[in-house]
Chains A and B, each alone.
Chain A
Amino acid sequence: MSRAASIVAAAGVALVVVGGTVVAIAFRGGISARREPSAIEARVARALRTWAIPSEARDAPNPFQASPRVLAAGLAHFADHCASCHANDGSGQTAIGRNLYPRAPDLRHPATQGLTDGELFYIIENGVRFTGMPAWAGPGSAEGSWHLVHFIRHLPKLDGGERAQMEALNPKSPDEWRALQDEESFLRGDEPPPREPGHGGHTH
Chain B
Amino acid sequence: MIRLMTVLAVAAAVVAGPAFAHEKGDRAIGVVESITADQIVIKASDGHVVPFALVPDTRFSVGDKTAGAQDVRAGQRAVVHGKRSGDKLIAVRVKLARHKR
Contacts and interface: CB of A to CB of B under 8 A. Distances in A.
Contacts, number: 73
Counting chain A CB atoms within 10 Å of each CB, which of B18, B48, B97 scores highest?
A: B18
A166 to B, nearest CB: 12
A35 to B, nearest CB: 17
A164 B59 contact: yes
Contacts of A189: 77, 97
Given A192-B45, A200-B46, A179 B66 contact: no
Given A164-B59, A164-B61, A186-B79, A192 B21 contact: no
Contact of A187 (B28, B66, B79): B79
A203 B89 CA distance: 12
A160 B64 CA distance: 11
Q: Chain A contact residues (Cβ within 8 angstroms of B): what range?
A: 20 to 34
Q: Is the interface of B mostly helix, strand, loop or mixed?
A: strand
Q: Chain B contact residues (Cβ within 8 angstroms of A): what range?
A: 20 to 34
Contacts of A167: 93
A201 B44 CA distance: 6
A96 B45 contact: no
A163 interface: yes
Nearest to B89: A202
B73 interface: no
A96 B22 CA distance: 8
| 5 cross-chain pairs, A with B, having the tightest CB-CB distances, nearest first | A200-B48, A201-B44, A95-B21, A187-B97, A200-B46
